[in-house]
């Protein structure tokens, strides 16, 4: 496949590494079909780095005949294109991307991750080099600052030492800005990195010239420190965008990587999950995870679907029942027929839901990108006017009869560079990240881990909270709440010890150590039967162990135990609320939040938990897709929901919500999709996170206001010649110090 190399103008990084080319003739093998019958192709796009890239690529592909959907995820670099059958071929998509100026190849999650990791490592290296250079240059410039009696030769020698450190380190550290500026200029546009690159080049050039002529002033220290501060902001931005990749990757890691396929001759062979074809018969042993979606064709067992539905109890499964990828077979071996490929499974769909939700958030153009359209021409214009003013101004004054010295190109250039440096948006770039760092440190001490910097801003904006039930408001673990006599509990536990069923485990935990009933067998979906002291005994469903007993109508999880002619005994379980759940809900309501609950569990269980927690609005039997759709619907109504969940079935909803949180015991995929993770069993950390986020929002606003005022007053002073590039760099660093000190006020309690 022919590839292009041009990146869309306005992209800040310009760091996309080259990708391997995939011949267009091979793309046909990567085309699949979605549920609507459309042809779908997934590509990895290199060079896309900002919202302008998304708009350019998606708009260009949607203009192709037959294309019904084009969606680029900026974080994972995955482009999904869907078109009506026979409308066009994958080569047309490839050629369109080439015309737009982007490299593309068939999507490979591993290679995509390597590409993004390489970008992060490069930014970190540049940051380290800039920091190293700035510290070492200070060793040579400090004597110049304070050495009033220093001779000209000694001063020039120290300037040369500074140049030997500053030039190589500065040119290396400035590569992210140089690359981005060059690509923007080559495309006929200017972005925010153009004036930064210009200031770096001019400052180094003028400082070297001053050193060669033995001049008193060089600015190696100021420009290197400037790069160091700018790279801090650039690296933080890269880290913020890594969350979506982590969430999707963690979910896909939960998918089985291999399967056992039964051939037409009955021979069983091990294959990779990606090689499963629709119609394949697969064997699923007890304890194994289903590798794809399908239908059970042989066997009876129990399935743990909590990863997908949030349901605490296993569900009985037999021939003809559907089974979804990610479900765990608990009791006995099963044979299933694949009805979808692994990449089209329920687990893969959850990963796609997260990517779509994260992309929706990524479409919002960052503050820096919004300011670029104004910042670039204003800064360039101000610097150019300053340079011309100091050249033409003296001539005009002389023509007016005033006794002034003639124009000096060096002075004009010095003042123009001072304008470029002092208007650098360094304080603006640190205004919010500095607050985020301090706020996240404060929350860490409170047991709340913040996974992304912009999470605090979204937490401060949230106006309602939506809780999952199992494992979030509750402990997610059944506990025996009835009080049978100890003898019956011991006998029942001897049967329960051979089972992996959650209620059996809860019963064993309540009974304590003991022996298992020899010869007992488990009947999948029903219970356990065996012989205790010469009498037949059963433990399980009411219809299995005590069919003569009426079904209870309280909806509580239960096990019935019957032995011989003795009256059957009912063991009742409950998923207890977290100790501070009701207090946390009350605290949220006191702060003006509307509180809801969404759960995949049964209606009776959800109603009991909702009443105990003080939540009036709740829904039961909600699927992962329905949770995600509910988040999107709320946002469509102008709401800003904060989702709190712990299961894999919550991951997509966590990503789709305006803000999100997970408890510390949540599955890795949910923690990766969440903005904050609360350690321990307490929910009050959520309230603390909201309070700190609101305070951080206030501090960030103060910093942004100061940064704007700083430029309003500092730029005219630089243009008037009152500030040298060194003073401009010091003022720029001072403004950064002020916003940092204001952020440090967050360490207190007010």
Q: What is the DSSP string of 607-674?
A: HHHHHHHT--EEE-S--HHHHHHHHHHHHHTT--EEEE--SGGGHHHHHHSSEEEEETTS-HHHHHHS
Cβ proximity of 525 and 316 under 8 Å: yes
32 pLDDT band, cuts 50/70/90, is confident
Highest mean pLDDT, choosing among 104-108, 542-546, 601-605, 725-729? 542-546
- Residue 253, pLDDT above cutoff 80: no
Average pLDDT over residues 630-659: 89
Rounded CA separation 579/681 (Å): 8
The pLDDT assigned to 550 comes to 84
- Residue 618, pLDDT above cutoff 50: yes
Note whether 256-344 and 479-574 share their fold. no
The length of the chain, given as a count of residues = 750
- Alpha carbon 216 to chain centroid distance? 49
Q: Which residue did the predictor score with more confidence, 350 or 66?
A: 66
Rounded CA separation 183/669 (Å): 36
- Residue 452, pLDDT above cutoff 70: no
The DSSP symbol for 112 reads H
Strand order in the sheet with 521-523: 479-480, 569-574, 558-563, 535-540, 527-532, 521-523
Rounded CA separation 434/425 (Å): 14
The pLDDT assigned to 497 comes to 93
378 pLDDT band, cuts 50/70/90, is confident
The pLDDT assigned to 22 comes to 39
For the beta carbon of residue 466, count every other beta carbon within 10 angstroms: 26
297 pLDDT band, cuts 50/70/90, is very high
- State the pTM of this model: 0.56
Name the class of domain 24-107. Answer: alpha beta
Look at residues 237, 224, 711, 645 and name the one whose alpha carbon lies nearest to residue 476: 645
Partner residues linked to 81 by β-bridges: 41, 70
- Residue 415, pLDDT above cutoff 50: yes
Cβ proximity of 245 and 251 under 8 Å: no
The pLDDT assigned to 6 comes to 33
Highest mean pLDDT, choosing among 248-252, 586-590, 727-731? 586-590
The pLDDT assigned to 407 comes to 74
Rounded CA separation 470/467 (Å): 9
- Alpha carbon 707 to chain centroid distance? 28
The pLDDT assigned to 232 comes to 77
595 pLDDT band, cuts 50/70/90, is very high
Average pLDDT over residues 134-138: 84
Which alpha helices (DSSP H) does 241-327 contain, by range?
242-253, 306-309
The pLDDT assigned to 536 comes to 94
Look at residues 322, 273, 270, 272 and name the one whose alpha carbon lies nearest to residue 294: 322
User: Which value, to the nearest 10 degrees, does the dihedral of the CA atoms of residues 294, 298, 300, 304 take?
Assistant: -20
As its CATH architecture, domain 479-574 has 3-Layer(aba) Sandwich (3.40)
Rounded CA separation 743/737 (Å): 10
SS3 278: coil
The encoded tokens of residue 14 equal 């310009």
Mean pLDDT lowest for which of 43-52, 286-295, 446-455, 566-575?
Answer: 43-52
Which alpha helices (DSSP H) does 400-485 contain, by range?
409-422, 426-445, 455-461
The DSSP symbol for 289 reads B
Q: Which residue did the predictor score with more confidence, 457 or 508?
A: 508
- CB crowding 719-740: b at 16 or more within 10 Å, else e: beeebbbbbbbbbbbebbebbb
The pLDDT assigned to 433 comes to 67
- The pLDDT tens digits for 43-90 are 888 766 655 567 778 888 988 999 988 887 665 677 889 898 888 888
Return the active site residues: 468
CATH 2.70.150.10 at 256-344, yes or no: yes
Contacts (Cβ under 8 Å, ≥6 apart) of 238? 13, 119, 120, 123
Contacts (Cβ under 8 Å, ≥6 apart) of 339? 278, 292, 293, 294, 295
Partner residues linked to 317 by β-bridges: 301
Longest dimension (CA), the chain: 124
- The pLDDT tens digits for 167-224 are 999 899 999 888 877 876 776 666 667 777 887 888 888 888 888 888 777 778 777 8
Contacts (Cβ under 8 Å, ≥6 apart) of 373? none
Average pLDDT over residues 617-628: 89
Rounded CA separation 510/493 (Å): 9
The pLDDT assigned to 494 comes to 94
The pLDDT assigned to 113 comes to 56
- Alpha carbon 311 to chain centroid distance? 26
- Residue 422, pLDDT above cutoff 80: no
18 pLDDT band, cuts 50/70/90, is very low
Q: Which residue did the predictor score with more confidence, 306 or 249?
A: 306
The pLDDT assigned to 25 comes to 42
The pLDDT assigned to 16 comes to 40
What residue segments make up the domains of the chain, in order of their start?
24-107, 115-239, 241-255+346-364+449-475+576-679, 256-344, 369-447+694-750, 479-574
Partner residues linked to 46 by β-bridges: 103
- Residue 691, pLDDT above cutoff 70: yes
- Residue 664, pLDDT above cutoff 90: no
Partner residues linked to 8 by β-bridges: none
The pLDDT assigned to 635 comes to 92
- φ, ψ dihedrals at 573, nearest 5°: -120, 160
| pLDDT mean across residues, the chain | 78
Average pLDDT over residues 454-482: 87
Q: Which residue did the predictor score with more confidence, 91 or 680?
A: 91
Rounded CA separation 671/451 (Å): 9
The encoded tokens of residue 407 equal 């124009």
The pLDDT assigned to 189 comes to 64
Average pLDDT over residues 630-653: 89
Measured CA distances, 150 to 147, 210, 515 (Å): 5, 17, 89
Average pLDDT over residues 524-531: 88
The pLDDT assigned to 286 comes to 83
Average pLDDT over residues 682-696: 89
The pLDDT assigned to 359 comes to 47
Q: What percent of the chain has pLDDT over 70?
A: 77
The pLDDT assigned to 273 comes to 80
745 pLDDT band, cuts 50/70/90, is confident
Superfamily (CATH H level) for 241-255+346-364+449-475+576-679: HAD superfamily/HAD-like (3.40.50.1000)
- The pLDDT tens digits for 95-127 are 888 887 777 777 765 555 566 667 778 888 999
Average pLDDT over residues 498-521: 90
354 pLDDT band, cuts 50/70/90, is low
The pLDDT assigned to 23 comes to 40
Mean pLDDT lowest for which of 299-303, 349-353, 675-679?
Answer: 349-353
């Amino acid at each position: 496949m022919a590839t292009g190399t041009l990146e869309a103008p306005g992209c800040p990084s310009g760091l996309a590494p080259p990708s391997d080319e995939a011949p267009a003739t091979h793309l046909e093998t990567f085309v699949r079909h979605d549920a609507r019958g459309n042809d779908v192709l997934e590509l990895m796009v290199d060079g896309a780095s900002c919202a302008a890239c998304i708009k350019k690529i998606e708009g260009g592909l949607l203009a192709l005949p037959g294309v019904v959907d084009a969606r680029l995820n900026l974080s994972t670099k995955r482009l999904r294109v869907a078109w009506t059958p026979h409308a066009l071929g994958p080569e047309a998509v490839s050629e369109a991307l080439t015309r737009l100026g982007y490299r593309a190849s068939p999507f490979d999650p591993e290679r995509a991750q390597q590409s993004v990791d390489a970008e992060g490592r490069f930014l970190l290296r540049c940051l380290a080099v800039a920091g190293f250079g700035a510290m070492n240059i200070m060793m040579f410039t400090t004597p110049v600052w304070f050495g009033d009696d220093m001779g000209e030769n000694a001063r020039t020698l120290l300037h040369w030492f500074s140049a030997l450190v500053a030039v190589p380190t500065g040119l290396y550290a400035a590569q992210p800005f140089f690359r981005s500026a060059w690509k923007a200029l080559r495309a006929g546009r200017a972005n925010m990195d153009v004036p930064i690159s210009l200031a770096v080049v001019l400052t180094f050039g003028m400082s070297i010239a001053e050193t060669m002529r033995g001049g008193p002033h060089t600015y190696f220290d100021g420009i290197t420190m400037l790069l160091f501060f700018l790279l801090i902001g650039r690296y933080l931005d890269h880290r913020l965008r890594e969350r979506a990749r982590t969430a999707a990757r963690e979910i896909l890691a939960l998918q089985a990587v291999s399967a056992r396929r039964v051939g037409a001759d009955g021979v069983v062979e091990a294959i990779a999950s990606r090689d499963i074809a629709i119609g394949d018969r697969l064997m699923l042993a007890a304890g194994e995870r289903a590798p794809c979606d399908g239908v059970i064709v042989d066997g009876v067992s129990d399935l743990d679907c909590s990863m997908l539905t949030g349901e605490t109890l296993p569900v009985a499964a037999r021939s003809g029942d559907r089974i979804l990828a990610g479900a765990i077979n608990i009791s006995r071996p099963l044979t299933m027929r694949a009805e979808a490929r692994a990449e089209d499974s329920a687990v893969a769909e959850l990963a796609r839901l997260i990517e779509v939700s994260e992309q929706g958030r990524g479409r919002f153009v960052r503050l820096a990108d919004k300011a670029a359209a104004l910042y670039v021409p204003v800064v360039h214009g101000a610097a150019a006017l300053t340079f011309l003013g100091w050249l033409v101004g003296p001539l005009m004054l002389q023509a007016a009869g005033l006794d002034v010295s003639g124009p000096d190109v060096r002075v004009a250039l010095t003042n123009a560079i001072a304008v470029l440096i002092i208007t650098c948006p360094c304080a603006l770039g640190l205004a919010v990240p500095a607050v985020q760092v301090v706020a996240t440190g404060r929350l860490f001490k409170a047991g709340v881990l913040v996974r992304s910097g912009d999470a605090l801003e979204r937490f401060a904006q949230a106006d309602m909270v939506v809780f999952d039930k199992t494992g979030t408001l509750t402990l997610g673990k059944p506990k025996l709440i009835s009080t049978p006599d100890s003898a019956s509990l011991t006998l029942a536990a001897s049967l329960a010890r051979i089972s992996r069923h959650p209620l059996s485990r809860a019963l064993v935990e309540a009974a304590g150590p003991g022996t298992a009933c020899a010869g007992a067998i488990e009947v999948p979906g029903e219970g356990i039967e065996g012989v205790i002291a010469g009498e037949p005994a059963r433990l399980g469903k009411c219809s299995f162990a005590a069919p003569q007993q009426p079904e209870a109508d309280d909806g509580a999880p239960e096990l019935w135990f019957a032995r011989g002619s003795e009256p059957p005994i009912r063991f009742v379980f409950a998923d207890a609320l977290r100790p501070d759940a009701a207090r946390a809900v009350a605290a949220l309501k006191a702060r003006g939040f509307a509180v809801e609950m969404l759960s995949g569990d049964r209606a009776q269980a959800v109603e009991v938990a909702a009443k105990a927690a003080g939540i009036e609005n709740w829904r039961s039997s909600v699927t992962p897709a329905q949770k995600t759709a509910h988040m999107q619907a709320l946002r469509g109504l102008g709401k800003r929901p904060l989702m709190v969940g712990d299961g894999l079935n919550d991951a997509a909803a966590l990503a789709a919500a305006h803000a999100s949180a997970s408890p510390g015991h949540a599955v890795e995929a949910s923690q990766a999709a969440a903005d904050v993770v609360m350690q321990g069993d307490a929910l009050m950390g959520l309230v603390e996170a909201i309070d700190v986020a609101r305070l951080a929002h206030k501090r960030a606003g103060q910093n942004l206001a100061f940064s704007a005022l700083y430029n309003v007053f500092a730029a005219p002073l630089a243009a008037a010649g009152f500030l040298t590039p060194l003073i401009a760099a010091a003022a720029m660093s001072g403004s950064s110090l002020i916003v940092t000190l204001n952020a440090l006020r967050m360490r207190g309690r007010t």
